[in-house]
Structures are given as structure tokens and as C-alpha cells.
Amino acid sequence: MILIFFSVLITLTAAQVPGSSISCYQCASAELKSRWYLTMLPQTLPEDAFIVGCNSSSGALGKTVSCNNGGCLTYLIQDPDRLDFTLSVRGCQSSLTLFQNPNNIYGGNAIGNRYCEYDGNFVRPNSIGQDVQTKVLVERCFNNSMACNNRDTFPSNGNDCVDSSTNNTVGNAPLSCYNCQKVNGKCSSGRCSKKYCVKSVGKVQNAYSIRKFCADFNPFGINEVCSGRELSVTLSNINTIDGHSDICFCKDRQNCNSAGKVGLFSVFLVMAIKQIQIKEEPSWVSRLAALVKCHECNVMRGLHCHLIVTLFLVILELVYAFRRNADDSSFDYNMQVMPSASNLCYSCASNAYLYFWNQLLMHHYFPPKNFTDQCWHPDVDIGTVPCNSACFTIVEEVYAHVSGQAVMRGCVDRLLLFGMDIDVKEAIISYEEVCRSMDRQLLQLVPLHQDNPLVMMCTCVGRLCNSNDAENVLSSVSVPGFTVIPSAILLIFLRLAY
């Protein structure tokens, strides 16, 4: 067994020796500069590589770069916000994915030294959270004489991009994958079937989101692989929030995206090329690994040193993987748990809402206990409602006879007559005593001002906790440099940050 293991490591080590370099175009659509999360790739391109001409082979595809491993990558993405527009990424496969020598690179059904995967029915959300059907194409190619990654169109009938049907079963049976999404919890419902199962976990501050789905393409070119990346998501082009996202592709067994586990060969490969990075690795792992590296490499030289260190790191990785990947609950990230005891919330709305109530709002919202401008500073005369979730305070711009601002208070469960989207609701009540700027459409609120899509929303848990002076909170939010904590970012990660 030990001899077999060392043979595998020697083979993997030898496979990393760079081959002859080839030239590849390097560019990306200018629109991807602020929406890189659409690519799922861990590595972005230099700022000057984001150009308009990257979308068309008839335009200037930018400069060429020398690539040693993995070939050239062409990555075409139908823009979920503009379905008539195609976003493009071109460059070195190994540089963009941070992985060397993908196993899905050539020798498939495509003609020549190309491996092309195409998904003509990839469901993903647009920027306002609505699921749309899109097209995605990934093509890896080799050409020793000229840059080959210049494709700019999706296949008209799929005949020139058919490697999604290569090795797409498990034991000659279609691959079954989980198809679900969840904020701060386990996710194991729904099924879908394509070439790959995928699991994405996004973390923002003290909360996380899970999405499981399937795809007929894999930008990494490795059947079982995980990758982590730091991510920035912009909410309504105003607030940019940083987080972390991990994504795993697999096809080694049915429902392999159940707990984010990676096959043993994938662990060996990734550890051998030093690509797995554990976001929250225990300190004893890093200290012990560093100690072994230092000690062993001072005593030994060459391949034997690397083999022993790699073996030790693999053992550490496997031990930690068993702890980390037991089930989806391992991704709880010490999530804050909201108490379930029933509380009271103030329930009121500014007089400005009366202008819209009978004609519009009464068909969408629960009626407040009071219509009064005292709702800005609630006192004992303001009505209350029982609440099993969280209390809220909303401040928004309205346009009645003149433009102005209005405030509404109540219980999250008693805001919308037909209920709030479950993912949005869970994201909102995941925090205590925070205010955030949110897109009105995410909350499914009725638009009362055509020029401002944002509202300020505060949530809290506790008896009459939504008693804060709304004018003071509003002024603090408008202070330059104020850091908004948008719980809806969890939903954006869940829906956008694959």
C-alpha cells in the first residue's frame, strides 16, 4: 500500500514539470470587472485585461501570454441580466484556475486538440435574484503555432461542442445531484442530473449560505475539485461587501455534492500541487506542518523530502476533512441563533402611507396598528403585535404630494400578506439589532418612489426592541464611511456567488 501511494505521488510530481509553452489570448469582458463571481474562478486578470474587444473574435482580443500547463481557456457566459449579450474570459487555464494539468483537456469528442463543454440550460439568478436560463461554454485548447482561444459564439446545435456527453455517467447511470439552496442550514432536497454535481458555500461575517446544483461544464477541467476565493459583491451598485466562497465540482458518485467531500485522488492531486487552502484551518495543523517542513527538509534533500512532507500534509488534510465534511452542519460558522420565544413589536406607519393605502398597499401589507407620524419616535400610544420572528423598522422615500421619507414598524412575519421569500426572511432574521441598506425588490416591497430602489431596514429580537429613533438611525446610515451590514448579501451570495 505504501509503495502504491509513493508511486502515485511520484507520478503526480513528475506530471508537474512544465512542458513547452504556448501562446494564449488574455482578456475578459469589461463588464466582468465588477461581476467576476459569475465565472466561479479563483483568480482574476490584471486590470488592463478587461476590455470591450474580448467579446468578439473580430475585435482586438488583447495581448497574448505564454502558458506552460493546462492549455488555453475560452469561457463564454450568457449575461443573466442581458440575455442577448455574451461575456467572455480568455487566458491560461492554469493561471485562471490555479490548477495544473487538468484531466479534461483534450481527447474528447471535439475535433483537434480541444475539449469543449456546453450547458445550454444553466439556471442562475440575475442581479435582482430572479432565476433565468442561460448558456455557458468552456473550451480548453492547444496550438503550438498560434493562440487558439478565440471562440466567440455558442454552438448553434451543439455538434461542435459535445464533450459534456463525454464521461458523464457513473456506472453507466446518469449522475444524480442534489439541487437546493439554504441560508444558515442544511440543504439536501431536490434532484437534478447533468455531467457534474456542484456545491457552493458562501460566508459573510457570521453567516453562510449553501447552494447545490448540477452543470454540464466545469471551468477547472478536473472532475473532482474544490476551490476557494475571496469575493466582493455590490448591492445595488452602492454597497460592496467582502466575503469568502468555496465551490466544489464532482462526478465520482451519485449525489456527490451532499457534503462537499472530494475524492481521494483529488485530495492527493491537489495536495501535491499545493492548491487546497483551508479557510479556517486549526492553528495546530499549520504549526505542525511548518515544523515538519522545516525539520525534514533540513535533513533530507530532493524528492524524498517532498514525498514525506506531502504524505504528512495529506494525512493532516484527510483528518481535518473528516471533521470538516461530516455533513452540512459543519458549515455553520458559529451562526447566531435567534431565540424562538414570542416577543412584542411596535406596529405603526407614518401618515404618508395613508395616501397609498386604500388604492395600493392594503393589497400587499398587513395593516399597522397606527397611522401616525409618532411612528418616528414610538411611545406608549403606539400599538403592538406579538411576534415569533424579528421586529423591523423600515425607512424609505415615498412620493405622495411631495417627496419625503416615511417609517414603518412591525413584525417580519406580519409585513407581507402573502409572505416573504424564505431565503430573504432567514437572511433578515439572522442578525440582531442591525440596520442595513437593502434593495426594495429583494424584500418584495411596493415601489413608492421611482428614483430610489433602496430602503433602510433594521431588525432586532426582543420585547419592543424596534423602538429606536428612526431619524437618528437614518442620520447614522448617511454618514460617509458608515459600514452597512446587509443581511440580504447572504441571499446574493446564495443566488449569485457560485
Q: φ, ψ for residue 98 (rounded to 5)?
A: 65, 20
Query: What percentage of the chain reaches a pLDDT higher than 90?
Result: 31
Report pLDDT digits (tens) over 153-197. 999 875 788 899 888 888 899 999 999 988 777 788 899 999 999
**Does the reported pTM lie above 0.85?**
no
Q: How far apart are CA 176 and CA 154, in angstroms?
A: 26
**Which has the closest alpha carbon to 493: 280, 257, 243?**
243
Least Cα distance to 9 among 304, 288, 222, 298 occurs for: 304
**pLDDT score recorded for residue 490:** 52
Q: How high is the pLDDT of residue 486?
A: 45
**What gap in Å lies between CA 422 and CA 426, rounded to an integer?**
6
Angle at 357 between CA 355 and CA 363, to 5 degrees: 155
Task: Please determine, for residue 4, whether its predicted confidence score (pLDDT) is greater than 90.
Answer: no
Task: Give me the amino acid identity at 15.
Answer: A
Round to whole Å and give the CA distance between 327 and 187: 10
pLDDT at 478: 44
- d(C-alpha 425, C-alpha 418), whole Å: 13
- Side chain identity at residue 343, one-letter code: N
So what's the pLDDT on residue 498? 61
Lowest mean pLDDT among 87-96, 216-225, 305-314: 305-314
Q: Whole-angstrom Cα distance, residue 376 to residue 474?
A: 11
Average pLDDT of the chain to the nearest whole number: 74
For residues 133-148, give the mean pLDDT: 90
What does the alpha-carbon distance between residue 114 and residue 166 come to, in Å, rounded to a whole number?
Answer: 13
Residue 426 vs residue 315, higher pLDDT: 426
Winning range, highest mean pLDDT, from 340-344, 397-401, 438-442: 438-442
State the cell numbers at 496: 449569485
> pLDDT band for position 315 (50/70/90)?
low
What would the grid cell of residue 18 be? 512544465
pLDDT above 90 (res 401): no
Q: Are 205 and 485 in contact (CB under 8 A)?
A: yes
The secondary structure of the chain, three-state, reads CHHHHHHHHHHHHHHCCCCCCEEEECEEEHHHHCCHHHHCCCCCCCHHHEEHHHHCCCCCCCCEEEECCCCEEEEEEECCCCCCCEEEEEEEHHHHHCCCCCCCCCCCCCCCCEEEEEEEEEEEECCCCCEEEEEEEEEEECCCCCCCCCCCCCCCCCCCCCHHHCCCEECCEECCEECEEEECCCCCCCEECCCEEEEEEEEECCEEEEEEEEECCCCCCCCCEEEEEEEEEEECCCEEEEEEEEEEEECCCCCCCCCCCCCHHHHHHHHHCCCCCCCCCCHHHHHHHHHHHHHHHHHCCHHHHHHHHHHHHHHHHHHHHHHHCCCHHHHCCCCCCCCCCCEEEECEECHHHHHHHCCCHHHCECCCCEECHHHHCCCCCCCEEEECCCEEEEEEEEECCCEEEEEEEEEHHHCECCCCCHHHHHHHCCCCCEEEEEEHHHHCCCCCCCCCCEEEEEEECCCCCCCCCHHHHHHHHCCCCCCCCCCHHHHHHHHCCC
Question: Which is more confidently placed, 342 or 494?
Answer: 342
**In the predicted model, what is the mean pLDDT of residues 241-257?**
87
> At CA 239, angle to CA 235 and CA 240, rounded to 5?
85
Phi, psi of 330 (to 5 degrees): -70, -10
Q: Is 230 left (phi over 0), alpha (psi -120 to 50) or beta?
A: beta
Predicted confidence at residue 21, as pLDDT, reads: 83
Is a pLDDT exceeding 50 seen at residue 28? yes
Residues 417-472 pLDDT 10s: 888 877 777 777 755 567 877 777 778 888 776 666 788 888 888 889 898 887 77
- Of 246, 208, 324, the closest CA to residue 37 belongs to 246
Q: Which sign, positive or negative, has the C-alpha torsion 455, 461, 464, 469?
A: negative
What is the reported pLDDT for 255?
Answer: 92
**Which tens digits make up the pLDDT trace of 265-304?**
333 333 333 333 333 334 333 444 444 344 444 444 444 5
